[in-house]
Structure 1
Amino acid sequence: MRSDLWTEKEIAILREISASRQPLVRSMDLLPGRSFDGVKSYAAKHKISLAGVDDWTPKDIATLRKIYRTPRSIKLQIAELMPHRTYASVKAEARRLGITGKNRAGTAGRKGYSWVLRAVEKILQQDGPASSKELALKTGGNQRTINALIRANRERFFVAEWAGTAQYPVAEWDLGNRPDAPKPSRIPRAELSRVYRIKRRIRKGSINPFSSLIQQVAAA
C-alpha cells in the first residue's frame, strides 16, 4: 500500500511541475502511484500553485500570436493548432494580451478569405458540382462565408443543377460564367394542403388508396 508520506524526490518533482506551469493532468506520469486528487490536496496544503488545464503556457501564447499574424481563418487554425481550446477562450486570451481589435496582429487573421475561394475553386475543378454545405465540409470553411464568396464572385460560379426537393431546392455550384439552371417551381400551398389531407385520411383508414385499382380489376 502506498505511503501518504511524500519523499524529497516527489516534492522536488511537484515543484518543477509548478514552475513549468504545465497543467497537472499532463504531468501525472512523473508521479507514479499518486492520485490526481491526492497531488492537488498536497499542493494546496503546502501552498504549491499548480496550473489549471485552461492556463496558458508561453508556447500556447506564441502559437496564439502566430495564428493572428497569418491571413488564414482564425477558427480553422485553432482547430488545427489548438484543438483543446475553444474559439471563445482563444478570443478572450487574445483580447487580454492586446492582439485583437485595431491592433495589427489582431486583425491580420480576419483579412479576406482568398484561401477559401481558392479551395472552393479547386474542389469544383476536381469533383464537379457541389452545394455550399458540401464545399464547407471539404474545405473546412464556414458555409455562410462560402455562400457570401459565391455571391460576391458570381462571374466565376453558376448553378449547374438543383438538388433537394421542389419546396426546398439546394443549388449545386460549378465553375464558369454561364446561366444558372432553372430553379424548380414550388408546389402551390393549396396543392400541398390537398395532398396532406389525403394522406391524413389514408392514415386514419377513412379511404383506401387502392379502391380505384380494385374496381378496375373487378370490372375487367
Structure 2
Amino acid sequence: MTKRASRFLLKLGAGFFGLSIFFVLLFRFVPVHVTPLMLIRFVEQLTEGKELRLKHHWVPIEAISKNLPLAVFCSEDQNFINHFGFDFKAIKRSIAASQNGTKQLRGASTISQQTAKNVFLWPGRSWVRKGFEVYFTVLIEIVWGKERIMEVYLNSIEMGRGVYGAEAASLYYFKRNAKNLSRTQAAAIAAVLPNPREYSVNPPTPYIKSRINWIAGQMRHWGTLSFK
C-alpha cells in the first residue's frame, strides 16, 4: 500500500512538473488569452448577480505605450530589471511594516510574482499557493526573461472590475488604444493596481490623484525603461 502511494505521488509530481514546464514554454511564445483569475472573477459575477463583464484583448508589447511599462515599474516594482523574481529587501520592509502595524505604499510582491500568480494560479494567501507562486516565478524568470514577463503582465493583470490588460483598460477608461496612452493616463492605470476592483481610474478619487502624481514624478525621475 505504501509503495503504491509512493508511486502515485511520484507520477503525480512528474506529471505536474511536465505540464508546468510545457505551459511555461508555450506561453513564452503564445498569447495568454485567458487566466484562472478571469474565470474565477466571471463565476463570482454570476453567483453574486452582478453585471457580467470580461474585457480582455491581447496586444504585443510594441502596441503598448512605453509610458505604461514605466508606470507599473515605478508603481509596483522598481527593482524589476535587477532582481531574479524576488525583492528580498522589499520583503524585509513588508515584514517590518507588518510588525509595526504600518501600511506600505506597495507590498513585497514583484511584477514577476504577480505575473506567475495571474497566469498559472488562483488568488489566495495559503502557503501552498505561495509555494507554487515561487516555483512558477523562478520558471518564468529562467524561460521568459524580463521583457516577456512585462508583456504578459501588462496583458493579464486585473485593471478594474472585469477589465484585464492594457488594451482593454485603455479602451474602457480612455476610449483609446494602449499604444496612445499619455504619461498621466498610464500613471492612472498603474495607480489602481493595488486594488483595481475598488479604486477608480476615471474619475479618480483624491487618494488616486495623489498616487497618480507620485507615479508621474517617479516616471520623470526614471526617464526610460530598457529591457536590454
Same fold per superposition (TM over 0.5) = no
Higher relative contact order (CA 8 A, sep 6+): 2
Q: TM-score, normalised by structure 1?
A: 0.29
Q: Compute the TM-score of the two structures, normalised by the length of structure 2.
A: 0.28
Q: Which protein has the bigger helix share?
A: 2
Task: Pick the structure with greater CA Rg.
Answer: 1
